[in-house]
Amino acid sequence: MTDNTKNFNRIWTLIQAEYPDAAPELHFSNTLQILVATILSAQCTDAQVNRVTDVLFKKYRSVEDFANADISDLEKDIYSTGFYRNKAKNIKKSAQIIISNFNSQVPNTMEDILTLPGVARKTANIVLARGHGVVEGIAVDTHVKRLSNLLGFTENNDPVKIEKDLMNLARKEDWEALSMTLILHGRRVCVARKPKCGVCVVSELCPSRYDNEQ
């Protein structure tokens, strides 16, 4: 993989201008909801998660509702997001832990939130930033991982190592925006199946552009 870190600032400036208001496309109105929605978003589109949570959040309105949920009912409620058994188990158990260990409040530190089942650093970063306004790192999902490699920002495949590489390149105040911006660019332009290099604003600076063009 070509080391293209020298062009990070130029690429970031260009791509940020394309998505000046990049934000999660998940719908939520409080910290508990962004936690649940982010857990559901694993291997599922945000659009589908939003369809599910539009109904789900009317049925389960509090952390107690999720903690006391009938697991079979919860599985049915989130079935269409995929991996519904694990997700239902993690959501219910997380709610119980939040009640017992955190006074019914979603934790606001990386150390604490990582104690919740089903919550790794990607989910933790999203919930902390969007739910609490606390920026501890960079959320690395499949889009961020793929684009970081294609753009030559990292040689790593492990999300934790990629996160560290990106944190070393970007200013802390840009960490959250960087993740959201790369996600949007990955969905709209640098799509996995056939990247649209011809309309990409950073194609001239991308070491992978010729590999992707047919």
pLDDT tens profile 146-203: 999 999 999 999 999 999 999 999 999 999 999 999 999 999 999 999 999 999 999 9
- Over residues 96-135, the pLDDT tens digits come to 999 999 999 999 999 999 999 999 999 999 999 999 999 9
Q: How far apart are the first and last CA of the chain?
A: 20
The question of whether 141 is a catalytic residue gets the answer yes
Domains and CATH numbers, the chain: 5-22+138-212 (1.10.1670.10), 31-132 (1.10.340.30)
SS (H, E, C) 8-58: HHHHHHHHHHHCCCCCCCCCCCCHHHHHHHHHHCCCCCHHHHHHHHHHHHH
From the list 77, 87, 92, 141, the catalytic residue is 141
Answer for the pair 154, 138: CB distance below 8 angstroms, yes or no: no
- Over residues 1-16, the pLDDT tens digits come to 689 999 999 999 999 9
What's the pLDDT at 113?
98
The question of whether 122 is a catalytic residue gets the answer yes
pTM for the full predicted model: 0.91
- Over residues 77-94, the pLDDT tens digits come to 999 999 999 999 999 999
How many CB atoms are closer than 10 A to CB 76?
12
From the list 122, 145, 174, 196, the catalytic residue is 122
What proportion of the chain, given as a percentage, has pLDDT over 70? 97
